[in-house]
Amino acid sequence: MLYSSTTGTGPDLVLLHGWGFNGDLFDDLIDRYKNQYRITKIDLPGHGRSDDVTGGLDEWCDEIIKILPDNPTLLGWSLGGLLAINIATKIKISKLVLIASTPNFVQNSNWKYGINADNFQQFSDALQLNLSKGLKRFVSLQTQDKTQLKTLNQSIDKFPASTKALNQGLEILLATDLLDEFKQLKIPIEVTLGNHDTLIPYRISNWYDKVKIKTQVLNTGHLPFLHKDFTL
């Protein structure tokens, strides 16, 4: 069973976090928007308070779909964005919001906007040697707000992801290409990128422009939603 928590009033907004974290990552964002949206945060399979789910991308998404409200706005950060794109091909949603995310995370001969697979594997291997320490260091590079950092660090320690889920999530990130599916979506889509993001190069905004997707680029790293200028 997956963990979820709902707060606020208004149209439904569902938040999907990224690899290694949990839904508490969005608590500041929820506080800002709970009077405008009915917000549901979900811990991804094997992350935080959620049970492991056997399988990969589709199996993860099928479990998430079971607890989604009808026709929500779906916001996905990083890995959560990849899941959100896949979910949008399966069920009706009103809007897709991608934060520091892309339909394909890994470079290949036809896709220059990803990261090098070997470099990404080294990054993830280093993180997994000491996940808590690695995630905390990663977060410390994204925000200078000491209160924010303290809250995020406490969440990282309290609700770690399982080894199985970490390996599944990495496989999803490395093996998933949803470019064709993404271009066929007929729903409103908004994208936010960080111009200092080392995982999702902000020059992907050029590609999003070509496929007519509204994009904003903030002066941040891989966690743009922590920045004061981020708006929904």
Domain membership of residue 174 (yes or no) is yes
State the CB neighbour count (10 A cutoff) for residue 65.
12
Domain membership of residue 176 (yes or no) is yes
- C-alpha 96/C-alpha 187 separation (Å) is 7
Q: Is 197 a catalytic residue?
A: yes
**Ramachandran region of residue 48, left (φ > 0), alpha (ψ -120 to 50) or beta?**
left
Question: What is the reported pLDDT for 189?
Answer: 98
Question: What is the reported pLDDT for 227?
Answer: 86
From the list 17, 124, 197, 205, the catalytic residue is 197
Q: Are residues 55 and 164 in contact, defined by beta-carbon separation less than 8 angstroms? A: no
Domain membership of residue 188 (yes or no) is yes
Q: Which residues pair with 212 in a beta bridge?
A: none
- C-alpha 193/C-alpha 214 separation (Å) is 11
From the list 4, 78, 101, 155, the catalytic residue is 78
Domain membership of residue 57 (yes or no) is yes
Question: What is the reported pLDDT for 42?
Answer: 98
Tokens linked to 138: 């990663």
Tokens linked to 88: 């949008």
Domain membership of residue 65 (yes or no) is yes
Q: Is 47 a catalytic residue?
A: no
Q: What is the CATH number of the domain that holds 18?
A: 3.40.50.1820
Question: What is the reported pLDDT for 228?
Answer: 84
Count of domains forming the chain: 1
Domain membership of residue 231 (yes or no) is no
Q: Is 227 a catalytic residue?
A: no
- C-alpha 171/C-alpha 23 separation (Å) is 21
The domain of 133 spans 4-226
Q: In sequence order, which residues have a C-beta less than 8 Å from that of residue 92 and are 6 or more positions away?
A: 70, 71
pLDDT along the chain (232 residues), means of 10: 98 96 93 97 97 98 98 97 98 98 93 85 75 79 74 84 90 94 97 91 93 92 88 92
From the list 12, 124, 155, 222, the catalytic residue is 222
